[in-house]
Amino acid sequence: MDYNAVPTPEACYADFCLIPVGTGNVSVAEEVAQVQRVLEASGLKYTLHSAGTTVEGSWDDVMAAIGKAHAVVHQRGVVRVQSSMRVGSRTDKKQTAEDKVKRVEDLLGNKS
Amino acid sequence: MDYNAVPTPEACYADFCLIPVGTGNVSVAEEVAQVQRVLEASGLKYTLHSAGTTVEGSWDDVMAAIGKAHAVVHQRGVVRVQSSMRVGSRTDKKQTAEDKVKRVEDLLGNKS
Amino acid sequence: MDYNAVPTPEACYADFCLIPVGTGNVSVAEEVAQVQRVLEASGLKYTLHSAGTTVEGSWDDVMAAIGKAHAVVHQRGVVRVQSSMRVGSRTDKKQTAEDKVKRVEDLLGNKS
Amino acid sequence: MDYNAVPTPEACYADFCLIPVGTGNVSVAEEVAQVQRVLEASGLKYTLHSAGTTVEGSWDDVMAAIGKAHAVVHQRGVVRVQSSMRVGSRTDKKQTAEDKVKRVEDLLGNKS
């Protein structure tokens, strides 16, 4: 198989938490706000929650946006940036972030 | 230093996404619902979002709850369970999940 | 079901990467070394790699060791500590870290 | 700032663990072997360990390789694929995977 000819997934979600390292500042809120501005500029759908941000789109667009987020935080003078990510792709159907939460809530409503 | 005498943190948050492996079922909603029931029974504060669940409390309570979530999914017949987690602890102040999101939104409201 | 009576898993592995936040120091090597000392004192099996440390044992022992690692880094004056973790448990068999790598290497040797 | 004009980082590392979901097979070794083949074809430097694989290179190359890994596993018939990732970038210096481990081992040798 020619692995390099394989296209990256057309759709995925990535949930990520970006941490600036070595800033001397315990708060990361400034950097998280900056990340939201990068995502806003990307045109992708994203949602902030208390432990990260979920962004949805094609693999290449999502990863470019998160890479730009690293780069923008570097431009602010942070020399080291670390992200923890969860990334999912599926080929059977499109499922939005809202669908996933609703599915679980329906199960809990019916059975708990 | 006697490392074993060191107590685990009094407060932390853990954001986790539990995946049942080898079930033959593409949907993980049943297992996620089960996890919410374990967390409800734990008495800890938790929030479901589309890419995981955030739970707050003492280190030992939070980790016991997530361990019981693995165990309950095993009891349903899933032989392998994998979780991705982000865990944070801080000693300077208590900051709730809501505080964290509000802090970023305030910054965006003022500056964007 | 009495969820609180469910025991946590007897065996698991956790692969984690601990990041001190707000230290003003780009290097995290001092903290990572400290984490190795906590793990050594725990008596658990662990392996350092370039992107984290893998530790194996019962759920409670593994999570207590990682919690103590957070606490020891806090004791050094770091007010905020963040870890990214992957945790796996299985009930069908015991598989060591070496077994997992060997399994993949065997497949690659036979087929690649 | 024109966020979309910001380039992604020239260098990064990503440590990732890819999980096929809904396969009915408890073992993930076949898929992990497949991922190694994709990485080999990418020409990037990578290292397999028991809890994941670390790959190094430019942000775009690294993310394209991991995206192709998802796609190849989908091509094998797995409809859902989930990865947990840790990604780091820094602008102050290049540090290889080996450097990072050596730095910690030196500290432990000197001080433990």
Tell me the C-alpha distance between B70 and B29, whole Å: 15
Going along chain D from its start, the domains and CATH numbers come out as 9-107 (3.30.70.930)
Separation in Å, CA of A104 to nearest CA in chain B: 5
Cβ-contact C104, D18 below 8 angstroms: no
Helix, strand, coil share of chain A (percent; to 5): 45, 30, 30
Chain B residues with CB-CB distance to D19 below 8 A: 19, 21, 82
Tell me the C-alpha distance between A104 and C84, whole Å: 25
**Beta-strand (E) ranges in D1-112?**
12-21, 45-49, 52-57, 80-90
pLDDT in tens, A39-66: 999 999 999 999 999 999 999 999 999 9
* C78: amino acid identity, one letter: V
pLDDT in tens, C96-108: 888 899 999 999 9
pLDDT in tens, C36-50: 999 999 999 999 999
Cβ-contact C73, C39 below 8 angstroms: no
Phi-psi region of B52 (alpha: psi -120 to 50; beta: other; left: phi over 0): left
Q: Say which of B19, B21, B26 has its CB closest to residue D79.
A: B26
User: How high is the ipTM of this complex?
Assistant: 0.94
Burial C59-88 (b: 16+ CB within 10 A, else e): bbbbbbbbbbbbbbbbeeebbbbbbbbbbb
**CB–CB contact A108 B33 (8 Å):** yes
Separation in Å, CA of C100 to nearest CA in chain D: 6
Predicted confidence at residue D111, as pLDDT, reads 52
List, in order, residues 6 or more apart from B30 with CB less than 8 Å away. A107, B76
Q: pLDDT tens digits, chain D, 112 residues: what are they?
A: 899 899 999 999 999 999 999 998 888 999 999 999 999 999 999 999 999 999 999 999 999 999 999 999 999 999 999 999 999 999 987 888 888 999 999 999 865 4
Average pLDDT on A98-111 reads: 86
Cβ-contact C83, B87 below 8 angstroms: yes
Nearest CA in chain D to C106: D33
Tell me the C-alpha distance between C34 and D107, whole Å: 9
For C9, list phi and psi in degrees, rounded to 5. Answer: -60, 140
Chain B residues with CB-CB distance to A25 below 8 A: none
* Pair of tokens at residue A72: 């923008």
Nearest CA in chain A to C84: A84
Kindly report the pTM of this predicted structure. 0.95
Chain C residues with CB-CB distance to A26 below 8 A: 21-22, 79-80
Predicted confidence at residue A107, as pLDDT, reads 92
Chain B residues with CB-CB distance to C2 below 8 A: 41
The gap from C-alpha D92 to its chain's centroid, in whole angstroms, comes to: 21
**CB–CB contact D17 C17 (8 Å):** no
Q: pLDDT tens digits, chain B, 112 residues: what are they?
A: 899 899 999 999 999 999 999 998 888 999 999 999 999 999 999 999 999 999 999 999 999 999 999 999 999 999 999 999 999 999 987 888 888 999 999 999 865 4
- Chains touching D, CB cut-off 8 Å, 3+ pairs: A, B, C
- Give CA angle at D71 (D65, D75), nearest 5°: 140
The total of other beta-carbon atoms located within 10 Å of residue B59's CB is 23
Tell me the C-alpha distance between A111 and B34, whole Å: 10
- Chains touching C, CB cut-off 8 Å, 3+ pairs: A, B, D
The three-class DSSP label of residue B44 is coil
- Of chain D, the percentage scoring pLDDT greater than 70 comes to 97
Which strands make up the sheet holding D80-90, listed edge to edge? Answer: A45-49, A52-57, A12-21, A80-90, D80-90, D12-21, D52-57, D45-49
Which of B106, A68, A32, A30 is closest to D2 using CA atoms? A68
Predicted confidence at residue B112, as pLDDT, reads 46
Tell me the C-alpha distance between A54 and A39, whole Å: 10
